[in-house]
Structure 1
Amino acid sequence: MLDIAEQLHRWVEQGRDFAVATVVAVGGSAPRRPGAALAVDTEGTAVGSVSGGCVEGAVYELCEQALQDGETVVERFGYSDEDAFAVGLTCGGIIDIMVTPVRAEDPVRPVLAAALAAASRGETAALARIVRGPDELVGRALTVRPDGSYGGGLGARPELDGTVAAEARAFLDAGRTGTLEIGERGSRCGAPLTVLVEASVPPPRMIVFGAIDFAAALVRAGKFLGYRVTVCDARPVFATEARFPDADEVVVAWPHAYLRRTDVDARTVLCVLTHDAKFDVPLLELALRLPVAYVGAMGSRRTHLDRDRRLREVGLTAPERARLRSPIGLDLGARTPEETALSIAAEIVAARRGGTGVSLTGAHTPIHHDAPPAAARPQPMGAGIGTTS
């Protein structure tokens, strides 16, 4: 739901009633991940998507029904081999969708409104909602802040709220959305629960070192992928906002010095385009020891061999050096700055999602690599507390 927070926050401020349908579990080759949402207001306006078009019509009708009767429901959609025209997913996957009314009188509205307001401002917050369990608890919600404090309630006991809030903080730290399976003993309500946790975090960072023409194209690609992009170069004549108008910031500093003082996390990607040893070696000596998502460095294969030797000489271990993507990018035969940026962006996506980078034509590998392990159905509720991404 937080993926359409900006529009829904406007609806809340305008006093509109609406219903929101959220993907809460997937199986097989489903087109959207948990957290994807479609919302419908009382005027029939729809925003968002839960399946890329496969079941939107049926979900739209469920939202209209929820606005009328005020009931939260969870529905499953899957492809029907017997009737290809039945409502379902032509990709063969399965999705579970929770439809929740968000009307002025609904008790969950203030909780959802707080989460939507935080997400629309780009703040860090999590929304935890019960998606399976006793009927009277389904749809109950908590808004969880980075310090672990929370608002709302799941309707069982305070101990459950505290447990879910603590687990939601872990989702915030990782910047991901997923589900918690809470067993009967842990739920404090006499039945197992499934809780969807949606994390709203600031955009991940891309730091591009080296203010060259290839960097300008990579900045545009990074923005397209949703990164907050910084360009850093020690040469003030090249590191200018005029040369990089699409960057969120342009920093004039020695690359390793800037990296040492700036904030990075497990989602940050570092792209080293300087291919100059006096910049590269001290920068990569630091970068390859940081818990970031991706480190890539531009240069020929000869440059890479020389760079690897220098990194070995300054004390980087073989596992640390193996983290470096060099030469940077996938083999697309790229030549222009734009083609090279596409090559780098594709490798970043593959690293993030676990893709192979090979052509899908004729391959037998999964299209979506971050799907749950169960191929046929969403995971059932477990007996203990666990997570799925």
Structure 2
Amino acid sequence: MLNIADTLHAWCRAGRPFALATVVDVTGSAPLPTGTSVAVDDDGNAVGGISGGCVEGAVYELCRQVLHDRGAPHRARFGYSDDDALAVGLTCGGELDVLVQRIDPTDHPHLTAALAEVVECRPAAVAQVVDGPDPLLGATLSIHGDDQVAHGTVGDGPANRAIADQARALMRTGRSGRAAVGGEGDDCPAPLTVLVHVHASRPRLLIFGAVDFAAALSQAGSFLGYRVTLCDARPVFATAARFPHADEVVVDWPHRYLESAEVDSRTAVCVLTHDAKFDIPLLLLALDLPVGYIGAMGSRRTHGQRLRLLREAGVSEQRLARLHSPIGLDLGARTPEETALSITAEIIAHANLASGLPLSRTTGAIHRRR
């Protein structure tokens, strides 16, 4: 639902009821991921999409029906059928489980607050029951940032606590996902499946080296949703005017800045200086940090010298294996802009445990579960 948070927040603030259709499970290949939603209000206005067009008409009519009937949430499954060419389904061959429910903002004040957090780009999570006893289907609760209090209610106290714990765990990863709670041995007696919609703070892209490649990379990183920091020890080069797409430009020695920087498993560190006096102290520190990606620019000769210096400094082969150098995928890139695409493509592939190969040379589902 967070893909349409702006509109849902406006409807909630206006007290306008709406029907919400959410992809709660995906089998095989599908164009959009679990958690994607479409919503329809009383006037027939629609926002969002769940299939890239394949089943939108059928989902729209389901939303109108659920909104009009004021009934219980409705589950529907859409797939591809070779037996009926006129059947509504996905041409990509996958299957979608969709939950359609009526939302009255007056009954879900915590949802309005959670959507406000998302609109203001603050961390939040909304947990939605997508499988379980009928009275709980579609029930929601939310977590705001580091708040230890869960807002809203799903069943009894143990159920709320179990779901809130799962929501906090997924918030720490920065990813939405499904989670099972309850069942034998748990405090929550009734087994439930919840879909946790997570809006995390933006992941960080730390670029070291105020060079032309860094300018293009900061623009690409900003486009992908990263909070971009450019750091260089040379004040004449590290200026906001040269890097307008960076969220911040820092004049400091790279390793000294990284020592105090806030990083996590989604952080990407890109070393573009290819100057040993900057690179080696920086990489010695970066290879010990719990960041998601570390890449360093340079020729193969520079790469060989860099590895030799790092080994002489005592870096193990296991730690060296984390280093992507020379940085980027083999796209034949020449210009700073092409090189930025090469680097960001490698960051995306690494984050998703993907091969980086052309899809025409791979088999299996295109859209894989993370």
What TM-score results when the alignment is normalised by the length of structure 2?
0.95
For 1:200 and 1:362, the matched residues in 2 are separated by 34
1:38 and 2:47 are equivalent in the alignment: no
* Superposition map of 1:50-61 within 5 A: 50-61=50-61
* Superposition map of 1:306-317 within 5 A: 306-317=305-316
For 1:339 and 1:128, the matched residues in 2 are separated by 40
1:213 maps to: 212
1:101 maps to: 102
Does the Cα contact within 8 Å between 2:20 and 2:37 map onto a contact in 1? yes
- Superposition deviation, residue 351 in structure 1: 0.6
Seen in structure 2, the aligned counterparts of structure 1 residues 44 and 272 have a Cα distance that, compared at 3 Å, is same
- Superposition deviation, residue 179 in structure 1: 1.0
Question: Which AA in structure 2 matches 1:343?
Answer: S
Backbone CA RMSD of aligned residues: 1.6
Question: Which AA in structure 2 matches 1:284?
Answer: L
- Superposition deviation, residue 187 in structure 1: 7.0
Structure with greater contact order relative to length (CA < 8 Å, sep ≥ 6): 1
Does the Cα contact within 8 Å between 2:28 and 2:367 map onto a contact in 1? no
For 2:168 and 2:37, the matched residues in 1 are separated by 22
- Superposition deviation, residue 104 in structure 1: 4.4
Residue by residue, what CA displacement relative to the aligned partner does 1:283-312 show, whole Å, maximum 9, x if unpaired? 111111111111100000010010011111
What TM-score results when the alignment is normalised by the length of structure 1?
0.91
Does the Cα contact within 8 Å between 2:123 and 2:199 map onto a contact in 1? yes
SS in 1 for 2:229: strand
SS in 1 for 2:367: coil
1:180 and 2:191 are equivalent in the alignment: no
For 2:73 and 2:318, the matched residues in 1 are separated by 50
2:116 maps to: 117
Does the Cα contact within 8 Å between 1:160 and 1:187 map onto a contact in 2? no
Residue by residue, what CA displacement relative to the aligned partner does 1:34-71 show, whole Å, maximum 9, x if unpaired? 11111112222222121121111111111111211223
Does the Cα contact within 8 Å between 1:205 and 1:229 map onto a contact in 2? yes
Question: Which AA in structure 1 matches 2:53?
Answer: G
For 2:86 and 2:312, the matched residues in 1 are separated by 64
Does the Cα contact within 8 Å between 2:12 and 2:105 map onto a contact in 1? no
Name which of structure 1's ranges 68-77 and 276-285 shifts more when overlaid on structure 2.
68-77
For 1:6 and 1:65, the matched residues in 2 are separated by 24
Does the Cα contact within 8 Å between 1:24 and 1:96 map onto a contact in 2? yes
2:79 maps to: 78
- Superposition deviation, residue 15 in structure 1: 2.9
SS in 2 for 1:122: coil
SS in 1 for 2:136: coil
- Superposition deviation, residue 240 in structure 1: 0.6
- Superposition deviation, residue 16 in structure 1: 2.3
- Superposition deviation, residue 94 in structure 1: 1.1
Provide the identity percentage: 57
Seen in structure 2, the aligned counterparts of structure 1 residues 229 and 33 have a Cα distance that, compared at 3 Å, is same
Residue by residue, what CA displacement relative to the aligned partner does 1:310-341 show, whole Å, maximum 9, x if unpaired? 11111211111110000000000000011101
- Superposition deviation, residue 100 in structure 1: 1.9
For 2:56 and 2:352, the matched residues in 1 are separated by 26
SS in 1 for 2:195: strand
Residue by residue, what CA displacement relative to the aligned partner does 1:124-176 show, whole Å, maximum 9, x if unpaired? 12111111111111011111232431011112x20111111112111011011
For 1:181 and 1:20, the matched residues in 2 are separated by 22
Question: How many residues matched?
Answer: 368
* Superposition map of 1:346-357 within 5 A: 346-357=345-356
Does the Cα contact within 8 Å between 1:270 and 1:295 map onto a contact in 2? yes
Does the Cα contact within 8 Å between 1:67 and 1:103 map onto a contact in 2? no
Question: Which AA in structure 1 matches 2:281?
Answer: P
- Superposition deviation, residue 188 in structure 1: 6.5
Seen in structure 2, the aligned counterparts of structure 1 residues 104 and 317 have a Cα distance that, compared at 3 Å, is closer
Seen in structure 2, the aligned counterparts of structure 1 residues 259 and 23 have a Cα distance that, compared at 3 Å, is same
1:385 maps to: none
1:154 maps to: 154
For 1:186 and 1:193, the matched residues in 2 are separated by 14
Question: Which AA in structure 1 matches 2:170?
Answer: F
Question: Which AA in structure 2 matches 1:205?
Answer: R
Long gaps (5+) in structure 2: none
Question: Which AA in structure 2 matches 1:93?
Answer: G
1:258 maps to: 257
SS in 2 for 1:333: coil
Seen in structure 2, the aligned counterparts of structure 1 residues 104 and 351 have a Cα distance that, compared at 3 Å, is closer
SS in 2 for 1:136: helix
- Superposition deviation, residue 349 in structure 1: 0.9
Long gaps (5+) in structure 1: 372-388
Name which of structure 1's ranges 324-333 and 309-318 shifts more when overlaid on structure 2.
309-318
